[in-house]
Structure 1
Amino acid sequence: MTISRNTLTAFSLAAACWWAPAALAQPAPATPMAAPAGLYQALGEKPGITRLMDDFVNRVVLDPRIGGHFKDVKPAALKESLTDQICQLSGGPCKYEGADMKSAHADMDINKGHFNALVEVLQSAMDAQGIPFAQQNRLLALLAPMHRDVITIR
């Protein structure tokens, strides 16, 4: 049985959800989920993650489906915050010190469609940066638990 990329992407969107705007993110939980071995390196370490987040934020602020959620966000600050968050989550040496996801998104009126659009934009940025699909899924799996605190409209 062959599984198409579209099927895997749909699965990733369903299983992998995630965060969005504000100065974002999630402090390390008391028992952090272990980063998959080698993910930080597969993402290009801090320089690669920085390029990915630059590309991602540039795309997301222009996306007609969700760009409005970012109108009051300073792109440079968002890029830096997301870089630290992804660096830490993927097993790198960075320390994310931003707001928790629930607080950062509490008043943002984010629904499942917004959330899925954000994941699509992230996947497009990862494709453009040449990140292999398997590594994309590994990152999305780390981000997936955050969807409970990001989606505010059920």
Structure 2
Amino acid sequence: MRLWSWLVILALAGCAQTPPKDDSLYHELGQRAGIQRIVEGMLLNIAHDKRIVEHFKKIDIVRLRDKLVEKVCVEAGGPCRYTGDSMAESHKGQHLTRSDFTALVEDLIDSMDAEHIPVPTQNRLIARLAPMRGDVIEK
């Protein structure tokens, strides 16, 4: 049911990339420490996910973790600054599919479940991340 919710959010999400001014989501996610736990949990889930783990074999996981924490922190309205490449640039040439993207979102949801993040909060985060989908898949 939650995957369906994210698909609806994804379909309805606008393309604006302006970080939100409201920091309530940042606080609901547990601030930077909570976001780091969510990202680390997602990366552990990916490590066991046969659907997409191959895409991560040659990646500096520590750097990826740090950049994902920054990105999620910014998108959640936190006081962070994202210092990584654009989503389009960092995924260029990877030829990721919709299925790959869906698998990653499922791994993120599983991580948020493990951190006891309420579903409405999960949906708010996914809605803020959803506009990046076009910069990630099939590039």
- Please give the TM-score of this superposition, normalised by the length of structure 2: 0.89
Q: Which of residues 88, 96, 118 in structure 2 aligns to 1:110?
A: 96
CA shift in 2, pair 1:14/1:109, >3 Å:
farther
SS at match of 1:64: coil
User: What runs of 5+ residues in structure 1 fail to find an aligned partner?
Assistant: 1-5, 18-27
Q: Which residue is equivalent to 2:3?
A: 9
**What are the residue-to-residue correspondences of 1:4-153 with 2, within 5 Å?**
6=1, 8-16=2-10, 29=17, 32-152=18-138
Deviation at 1:84, TM superposition (A): 0.8
Deviation at 1:50, TM superposition (A): 0.9
Give distance in 2, aligned partners of 1:35 and 1:137. 18
User: What runs of 5+ residues in structure 2 fail to find an aligned partner?
Assistant: none
- May I ask how many residue pairs the two structures share in their alignment? 135
CA shift in 2, pair 1:122/1:146, >3 Å:
same
> Is contact 1:57–1:78 with CA below 8 Å preserved after alignment?
no
Give distance in 2, aligned partners of 1:16 and 1:75. 26
SS at match of 1:98: coil
Give distance in 2, aligned partners of 1:108 and 1:139. 24
Give distance in 2, aligned partners of 1:67 and 1:14. 26
- Please give the TM-score of this superposition, normalised by the length of structure 1: 0.81
Q: C-alpha root-mean-square deviation of aligned residues, in Å?
A: 1.9
1:61 partner letter: A
CA shift in 2, pair 1:114/1:145, >3 Å:
same
CA shift in 2, pair 1:81/1:144, >3 Å:
same
> Is contact 2:10–2:127 with CA below 8 Å preserved after alignment?
yes
> Is contact 1:36–1:138 with CA below 8 Å preserved after alignment?
no
Runs of 4+ aligned residues of structure 1 deviating over 6 Å after TM superposition are none
